[in-house]
C-alpha cells in the first residue's frame, strides 16, 4: 500500500518522481506496455489539470484527457493508476463472511444445502446493513399473515415456473 501512494496527485505532478516499473511488473505482463506507461509517467507532470487535490478525481480527469489531435496521451497510465486505486485495501470483509459461514454450517449442521446457507447469510448481511438484529427486527404484517399458508413455501422451482408461464 505504501508503494501505491506513489500515484498520488502530488507525486504524479512533481517533476522528479519515483519510478513505477517495480509496481507495474506485478500487474502488467507486456514489456511494451510497461515502457509506454513509464513514458507517460515521466510526462504526466506536463499536464495542466484542474484537479490537484483528490487523487481519484485527478486520474479520472487524466483518463478523459485528449490532446489537440484527439489522442488520449495518458490512457494507459490512467487506466493503470485507476486499477491500483480500486484494489481492495484488505480482505477483512471476506474473512468475516467465511467466519459467519463456518458458524452457521458447523459439524452439527454439515448436511445443510447451499441454498439454505446462502439464504441465512443474505439475511444476516441484510440485517447488518440495516443496523438491526433478530432481537429488534419487526416482521412485516403481510409476512406474518403468510405463515402456515402455501404462499410462504414457494421454492425457486415454483418461481421459475411462474416466470415461464408469464413469459408465454
Q: What is the pLDDT of residue 166?
A: 45
pLDDT in tens, the chain (168 residues): 677 778 888 888 888 888 888 888 888 888 899 999 999 999 888 888 777 788 888 898 998 888 888 888 899 999 999 888 887 666 777 788 888 888 899 888 889 999 999 999 998 888 888 888 878 888 889 888 888 888 767 665 555 554 455 444
Residue 31 neighbours by CB distance under 10 Å: 10
pTM for this model (two decimals): 0.53
Domain locations in the chain as residue ranges:
3-85, 92-149
Tell me if residue 54 falls in helix, strand or coil.
coil
Q: Contact at 8 Å (CB) between 30 and 62?
A: no
Q: At what angle do helices 92-104 and 114-130 cross, to 10 degrees?
A: 130
pLDDT at 52: 78
Nearest to 37 by CA among 28, 45, 50, 47: 28
pLDDT at position 22: 85
pLDDT at 157: 56
- The pLDDT, as a whole number, for residue 116 is 92
Residue with cell 509496481: 23
Amino acid at each position: 500500500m505504501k508503494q501505491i501512494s506513489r500515484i498520488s496527485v502530488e507525486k504524479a505532478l512533481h517533476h522528479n518522481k519515483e519510478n513505477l516499473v517495480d509496481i507495474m511488473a506485478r500487474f502488467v505482463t507486456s514489456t511494451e506496455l510497461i515502457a509506454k506507461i513509464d513514458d507517460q509517467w515521466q510526462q504526466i507532470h506536463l499536464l495542466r489539470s484542474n484537479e490537484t487535490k483528490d487523487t481519484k478525481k485527478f486520474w479520472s480527469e487524466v483518463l478523459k484527457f485528449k490532446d489537440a489531435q484527439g489522442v488520449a496521451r495518458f490512457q494507459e497510465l490512467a487506466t493503470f493508476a485507476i486499477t491500483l486505486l480500486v484494489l481492495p485495501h484488505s480482505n477483512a470483509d471476506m474473512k468475516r463472511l467465511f467466519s459467519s459461514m463456518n458458524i452457521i454450517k458447523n459439524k452439527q449442521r454439515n448436511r445443510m444445502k447451499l441454498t439454505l446457507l446462502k439464504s441465512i447469510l443474505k439475511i444476516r448481511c441484510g440485517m447488518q446493513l440495516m443496523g438491526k438484529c433478530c432481537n429488534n427486527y419487526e416482521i412485516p404484517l403481510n409476512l406474518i399473515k403468510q405463515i402456515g399458508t402455501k404462499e410462504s413455501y414457494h421454492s425457486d422451482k415454483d418461481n421459475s415456473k411462474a416466470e415461464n408461464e408469464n413469459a408465454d
